[in-house]
Structure 1
């Protein structure tokens, strides 16, 4: 092979590699925004949480996170069964579940030891730690077995359960995609008719706050949307009538959910306090809200371009690509922020400091992880290694 041929071959490889690693930055950016809003929302004293999406709609960052977790799971594992084989894909799925379990363990231990240490210097409300976890060691096996789910530490177990059930849903999709979604939707509807159907929770007689039997439908919708997009080879069509319907619904949702009295404004909610869609079992109003947002984002070329090219879009996408690490660190930072506010007050100086420092840490962490991933990829010589790496990055 002469020099010209070698140069041409290298150019072909360079052109092929980006195509294999190409990803939809809208998913990453939306997931990154959800993670940052979850950090803000989990600090009750934080004035910044007045501006997150939960104030302008029925759904909040948790619904977005679970929906996109389903979408990304298909990218990471759904295609893997065909491309890499059943056993390697199951091994990767198991490895991810182990990582989630380790992340949950780190957060629980950080909460318990921090609160127990902090209260030696100043009183700490039991709200920061379940009373049953405040003394003794009898709680350990219950928390580790997910028989007990402390507040603010209950979404990771949900994600782990949903990811564990992914192979079952995949098998149903192989039989017929509509059948899989129909069965998932029927289970969600059954739980909405009888919310008592739930996993047990030693810390709460009502069971898991995020009822997996209901929230699995949102995860399944994300999986199905991802599979459909892959099969079609393009985005969802931008149908004007559907865009208008989604927009009108989101406007109604915003007016009904907005905390008017919190801002000293007249209550303009059409149905007043009577309409309060339940989050625990994912009531239809919350489901329609997040699906409307998802459709408007995923059918928009403008959002695609913004996520891929703008500085804000890329920063959010970096956060979304490393969701596990950002979520774990963000949840621990939430605890320290709450303790700081309860100990030293909720003045403007602390408000600014807590939010600036917390968000900076999370964004810097995502940026560092992204640079490390780029360096790791650059060290791989074989072009064929790009495809598995791209699939792994979809896990977040």
Structure 2
């Protein structure tokens, strides 16, 4: 039997796990809901069930998708050259950067239209917009250099930076996954200890999603994706670990909702911080991915990954709307970001009209699903042509993470 062509092998698509597509789609819907403050549906999103919210889970999903999509290309660098493994990842990072710039400018335009056409001048000082309209020159420099990020459109810069580092993480992660995990934990701890961050501009401070801290959750997802690519689990199933994760979830729920218990735990954390424990161990400062949020999202992810019923439900035909949204992750995120900003303006205009948020969220979710379905239909319609191109020896890019 002849040895397979390395280029053809590198082009083989990554296997898709329906759980990743489904939960990524579900998380995107939750992000859309949470980004339109003041609607009832916020009570149903992940942030009501513990310390973490959809953002942490989305970073895990993104890391898993990157591990599944890019492991093969990087692993074969000796055969095909290192650049062929790196290029698709950095190309994706460039796409994310351009998407972020577009979303930022479109978001500014949405709020400017609300102010100019409908007199909603309060929009010009919301979600970090003040610098844009009152200090335009430096703000524009900050936008292009990622130093100035408006609210609700600030997750892609961190993901872009992490994708730039992903090829090197993949090289180490395939050879020594525990070494990569240890280095990631050390960087996370030092980041919180020394308050490391990329600088904001022209505002003081740093990025809201600090890539030096959030890299840990991305790396955990990346290592999980590498293992899944080879048909394994990064963290094996274990009854004791499952019990501990479940106990932690219950404990966190009691911390949040049990009368009197929350203030006691908050007091304990305050005393521990006064004794000198680093703030990212005792606080819930989202920027530095504090331990309490990190442990919560890891427990949720582990429990979900261990339940056979989740795998069956994820593959059910009725779950296809969420799966298709997950497969078109960047499109749905982008459309959801614009819809959420428009929704904020709409809710300000119709302040006090309770039916508006009740209708806007379902309508927006249907729009997101329709866009994802159209994009997925277009992708499927083009598959035969791409397969024919591969069979004829044509060029084709490796599978990219959504």
TM-score by length of 1: 0.86
What displacement does 1:272 show? 5.5
Alignment of 1:227-242 (within 5 A): 227-233=226-232, 237-242=236-241
Give the structure 2 partner of residue 13 of structure 1. Answer: none
User: 1:33 aligned to 22, 26, 30, which one?
Assistant: 26
Contact 2:67 2:229 in 1 (8 A): no
Alignment of 1:70-219 (within 5 A): 70-83=63-76, 85-120=81-116, 121-125=118-122, 126-135=125-134, 136-173=136-173, 176-194=176-194, 196-202=195-201, 204-219=203-218
Q: Which SS does the other structure have where 1:64 is aligned?
A: helix
Q: Is 1:296 the counterpart of 2:303 in the alignment? A: yes
Contact 2:89 2:167 in 1 (8 A): no
In structure 1, runs of 5+ residues without a counterpart are: 1-18, 261-265
Q: Which SS does the other structure have where 1:100 is aligned?
A: helix
In structure 2, runs of 5+ residues without a counterpart are: 1-11, 270-282
User: 2:332 aligned to 326, 337, 340, which one?
Assistant: 326
Instruction: Give the whole-Å Cα distance in 2 for the aligned partners of 1:236 and 1:52.
Output: 26
Give the structure 2 partner of residue 5 of structure 1. Answer: none
Say if 1:300 and 1:85 are closer, same or farther in 2 by CA, change over 3 A. farther
What displacement does 1:309 show? 1.5
Give the structure 2 partner of residue 4 of structure 1. Answer: none
Give the structure 2 partner of residue 336 of structure 1. Answer: 342
Please give the per-residue CA displacement for 1:70-104, whole angstroms capped at 9, x wherever unaligned. Answer: 11111111221234652222221122112101210
Contact 1:201 1:208 in 2 (8 A): yes
TM-score by length of 2: 0.84
Say if 1:172 and 1:20 are closer, same or farther in 2 by CA, change over 3 A. closer
Contact 1:229 1:236 in 2 (8 A): no
Instruction: Give the whole-Å Cα distance in 2 for the aligned partners of 1:338 and 1:68.
Output: 27
Alignment of 1:247-326 (within 5 A): 247-258=246-257, 266=259, 268-269=261-262, 271=264, 273-274=266-267, 276-311=283-318, 313-326=319-332
What displacement does 1:381 show? 4.2
